[in-house]
Amino acid sequence: MRKKLNKLIYVEEYVYINGIEQFLFHNGTSYDNPVMLYLHGGPGSAESLFTEGFQGKWEDLYTVIHWDQRGAGKTLTKNPDKYPTIDLLLKDLYDIVHYLKKKYNKNRVILLGHSWGSVLGSTFIKKYPEEVSYYIGVGQVVSMLDNERVGYEKVKELISKKNDIKSLKKLEDIGEYPDKEYSEEWLKKCLKLRKLQEKYKLAASMDLSISLIAFKSPIFKLSDIIALMKAFKSNGKLVEFLVNFNLKLETNKYEIPIFYIMGGNDWQTPYSEAEDYFNKIEAPLKKYYLIPNAGHMTMLDQPNLFFEALQDIAERHKGEN
């Protein structure tokens, strides 16, 4: 385990939010910086353990808070029988935003949503735009079913080009995909597809280098591994919500600035789908960033280029925080 870093702002805490104690991890270099709340992916895949792999430079721009959501990470460990629904998470998020605004004396916060976090974040800013200065979507989900369809076709294309008979047989075994309605069979097919996508580096993979970042984190505990293993069981209702999620069915008007940062090699949440939708967005300010040679874990794959995008965003928006 790494030594805890000597920072002006370095706080691990459990805060009583919406009936349970929830884990927050704060890092920063100045109380004057705007506050960014990082919404992790999954559902159920807390990313607070990976901060040392990408976040150092961010803290010159923002005070960054990671929240292990209900049903994920250290919050799940603390509350093993408290499973999330989208309504519970939106209430959790609302209360955490208000807690952070009071703690840091801010009028608004910035939301960064990664993957599943982009679903939660996009839903929240439509409902509570007055709480957020601006939104950053990373690995932005627009339509889960469209994402799966595009990702399936991409891996099929690469498998066919390589004449990978074994992988082609596995793809054929999956059959028609994606099904239009969520079921246990849908989830089984999705997990089989992810394995093939990981093999062809089209989706996020928990490889040795990423695992080492987590294991070396100053907040890592063995219970974090157990929590990750329980993620599917504890987040079943959220997975069903995710499968049916489709921003295209809602208004494309946003009341706050919107920024997307996408990986050019991301076929888990295909950048092409996000870009098509982004071009239709109406917002006070918006910009789309495509990071080359980066996959679904964009900030880990290209941390310097990702930080340059954040710098540009911070420069473009110097409003009220």
- Distant-in-sequence, close-in-space partners of 208: CB < 8 Å, separation ≥ 6: none
Q: What is the pLDDT of residue 318?
A: 76
Of 311, 211, 216, 223, the residue nearest 5 (C-alpha): 216
Would you kindly state where each structural domain of the chain is located, as residue ranges? 9-143+224-316, 147-199
Cα–Cα distances in angstroms (integers) from residue 221 to residues 33, 215, 216, in the given order: 30, 8, 10
φ, ψ at 113 (rounded to 5°): -110, 125
Q: What is the pLDDT of residue 319?
A: 53
Sign, CA torsion 303/309/315/319? negative
- Distant-in-sequence, close-in-space partners of 58: CB < 8 Å, separation ≥ 6: 36, 64, 307, 310
Which CATH number does the domain 9-143+224-316 belong to among 3.20.20.80, 3.40.50.1820, 1.10.3720.10, 3.30.70.260? Answer: 3.40.50.1820
Burial class (CB in 10 A: 0-12, 13-18, 19+), 251: exposed
Tokens of 199: 């093999």
User: Which residues on neighbouring strands pair with residue 258, listed in sequence order?
Assistant: 135, 286
Q: What is the pLDDT of residue 3?
A: 41
Give yes or no for a contact between 114 and 108, defined as CB atoms under 8 angstroms apart: no
**CA separation for the pair 193, 189 (Å, rounded):** 6
Of 250, 39, 45, the residue nearest 143 (C-alpha): 250
Instruction: Give Rg (Cα) of the chain.
Output: 19
Q: How many helices (H) and strands (E) does the chain have?
A: 13, 8
Per-residue pLDDT for the chain (321 aa), expressed as one digit of tens each? 334 457 899 999 999 999 999 999 999 999 999 999 999 999 999 999 999 999 999 999 999 999 999 999 999 999 999 999 999 999 999 999 999 999 999 999 999 999 999 999 999 999 999 999 999 999 999 999 999 999 999 999 999 999 999 999 999 999 888 988 888 888 889 989 999 999 988 888 777 788 889 889 999 999 999 999 998 889 989 989 999 999 999 999 999 999 999 999 999 999 999 999 999 999 999 999 999 999 999 999 999 999 999 999 999 887 545
φ, ψ at 41 (rounded to 5°): -90, -160
